[in-house]
Amino acid sequence: MNDTLDRTNQNIIDQLERNGRISNAELANRVGLSASACLRRVQELERRGIIQGYKAQINRHAIGLGLTAFVMVGLSEHTTKAAQGFEDAVSASREVVELHNVTGNVEYLIRVECRDLASFKRFHHEVLGKLPYVHSITSHICLDSPKDDRA
């Protein structure tokens, strides 16, 4: 538990992570507060940037995104210019849903969501393959996600 959060605030966060659409009255009941006290706490968590927003959890297959890939990218230059150029270019791609700068033998881990293998191949060749400073690309196609708590 975060040291800057008391048990009640942590409980509010836990409840909202499970169901961001819960009514304030139900949330208050679950965390043992009055509705007004609960609302004040939620608003304070939002003001502090602890709660950054609320999202819908989308069934990716239902909207035609049947392939998820995790792509590791190594850069040939370790400069701010190379990193920023790469981040800007990759972030502009619709297929990229997460971009992480990581430690290890590569600089970036990217989560890519595409319609199918052909669309992933196009992304791989037309986006990643054309970027300057890209030295290595290693792709891992996701077979299943038995646990995924992201909204």
Tens digits of residue pLDDT in 6-33: 999 999 999 999 999 999 999 999 999 9
Sheet with 134-141: list strands edge to edge: 96-101, 108-114, 67-75, 134-141
| The Cα angle at residue 29 between residues 27 and 32, in degrees rounded to 5 | 105
Instruction: Quote the tokens at residue 135.
Output: 């030295």
Q: Which domains does the chain have, with CATH numbers?
A: 7-47 (1.10.10.10), 61-141 (3.30.70.920)
pLDDT in tens, 44-74: 999 999 999 998 888 888 999 999 999 999 9
Give the global pTM. 0.81
Share in percent of the chain as helix, strand, coil (round to 5) = 40, 20, 40
